[in-house]
Structure 1
Amino acid sequence: MRKLVERELTSEGPRRGGERSKGRRSVTVNLGESTLSWLHARGHIDDRLFQAGEILRRDFERAQLSANVTMRWDPVRVKTTGDQGLSATERQVAAKQRFDGAIRAAGKGLEDVLWRVVCAGEGLPEAEKGLGWPARSGKLVLKLALDRVADYYRIR
């Protein structure tokens, strides 16, 4: 999905007479681009790590682990050709099991950055700040976590 919008950025400049001056500029943002796809497009992560992150995000979404705002009214059994005839609930449970396994495979201390960047869509600077990490450390830790997730999903 490619949805471009203009966003205004404000930055506070140096003090002038006791007040902070504000500089303004606007940038074009692609709302369909995730942090993971941004890193991949610029060569910061390879295809294997990108694929692992996308599969993890897909399992997160299929397991419906994000906040819900309404009730589901799906029938109990859905006739499908794929997913070995599983119902929606069974597919959701299977996705949750895969997601939990991938997070466990990443290891203690790495699941936070995976969830924040891959599932919640936070940028690396925000994730680093939220986790209390030094600036520019998130990319290295994210790559380690994605490598373990890629091993879990058997991506070569």
Structure 2
Amino acid sequence: MNKDPTATRSGPVTAIRAEAPIGRAGERLLAALAPDGAYAFRDPLDGEVLIVRGGGGGVSLGGGRFPGTAGERLVSADLASRAPGPRGCLTLAPAGRARLRRAQGPADEPFRAQHLDLIAEGEGVERRLRDAAESPIAWMVRRRGRDGAPLLDRASFEAGERLRRDIATAMLLPRMGIDWSAARVDGSGPRDAASASDTTLAARERVHRALEAVGNDLSGLLIDLCGHVKGLERIEVERRWPARSAKVVARIALGRLAEHYGLQREATGPDHARMRLWRDRV
């Protein structure tokens, strides 16, 4: 019997190597070590148990208790590293963080998710992957200032993402390639207004209302940020703004946009929510 030349004892050479088994407790411990500053150490009263601590800024938060065998499995698989000394704290290794990124990414693109911040958009045949790290507002929401707070709050980030999706759906920006999925009608081109779908027209109306609510002084900046996805430094160069001034103006513009969408930094309940109809006063 002839053997497949592309096969080995471990299977076809094109197959993806399986992750090293670490057990359910190991998976939970790996996820507990993911936050910045998290570490695990042996319980002084019970040497067979690991205690996880996390948090930064001088505040220590409990992260749970795990069996010591789970930590040994992580160390043997090079997913965690043990510090020298009698306490021997465990911290997440680069291989462990890469494994978490593969697990959290799309099932069909695990190794791309290891290096990129992939987000799945759409459903079915319209499903596509996008690298969120390319977005300047995604960079701002993850970057922290000197006070430890993010440069952009979650409400402003969600407002910018909503505007970006509406701009893409409205097809207001020039396409850099051929759209093979768009329907074609005899005598109509891709930019024929009569051939636009109701979804496209509704998105255009939402974009128009959002930019009108923000104002002419900041609407152009939002188009650059959320539509053309221009970086902050590029915006400063093109508009001849001082260095590091674009993020300040962007926070103001995205804050106005969040107010237009009715998004707030924290939930306040119906008694403190923004009034939308006059009859709500009754």
Answer yes or no: same fold by TM over 0.5. yes
CA shift at 1:74, angstroms? 6.6
1:101 equivalent to 2:209? Answer yes
**Number of aligned residue pairs:** 121
The residue number in structure 2 matching 1:90 is 198
Q: Which residue of 2 aligns with 1:137?
A: 245
Counterpart position of 1:121: 229
Partner of 2:257: 149
Q: Does 1:59 align with 2:166?
A: yes
Identity value in percent: 32
The 8 Å contact of residues 4 and 31 in structure 1, kept in 2 or not, is answered as no
User: Which amino acid in 2 is paired with 1:73?
Assistant: A
How far apart in 2 are the matches of 1:138 and 1:104?
Answer: 21
Shift of 1:4: 3.6
- The Cα shift of 1:3 comes to 7.3
- Which residue pairs with 1:111 in the alignment? 219
Runs (5+) with no aligned partner, structure 1 = 6-29, 76-87
The yes-or-no answer on 1:48 pairing with 2:148 is no
Larger Rg: 2
Which structure is richer in relative contact order (CA contacts within 8 A, separation 6 or more)? 1
Query: Contact conserved, 2:132 with 2:138, CA < 8 A, in 1?
Result: no
SS in 2 for 1:60: helix
TM-score (norm 1): 0.69
For the Cα contact (< 8 Å) 1:49–1:150, is it kept in 2? yes
